[in-house]
């Protein structure tokens, strides 16, 4: 994923929050940041469970996208 693709993802991600807030678990900034922290700790487990050969310790735009999407619904 390129930086430009990530920008487009953020644009659509923000639009989704605005138009479908009910599908998000963490709609306040405080809750969302807490979920980002928790999901970032657990994301390697997600990759492993999905049998994805991804190293969460290597920062990429794709990893950041996965963390943001996960944090929108993570409890």
Domain ranges of the chain: 3-71
According to the model, what pLDDT value does residue 75 have? 80
CA distances from 20 to 7, 34, 45, 47 (A): 20, 21, 27, 26
Per-residue pLDDT of the chain (75 residues; tens, 9 = 90+): 999 999 999 999 999 999 999 999 999 999 999 999 999 999 999 999 999 999 999 999 999 999 999 999 988
pLDDT of residue 33: 96
């Amino acid at each position: 994923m390129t930086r430009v693709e990530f920008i487009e993802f953020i644009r659509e991600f923000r639009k989704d929050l605005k138009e479908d807030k009910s599908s998000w678990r963490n709609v306040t900034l405080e809750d969302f940041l807490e979920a980002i922290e928790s999901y970032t700790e657990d994301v390697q487990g997600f990759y492993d469970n999905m049998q994805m050969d991804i190293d969460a310790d290597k920062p990429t735009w794709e990893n950041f996208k996965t963390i943001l999407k996960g944090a929108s619904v993570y409890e």
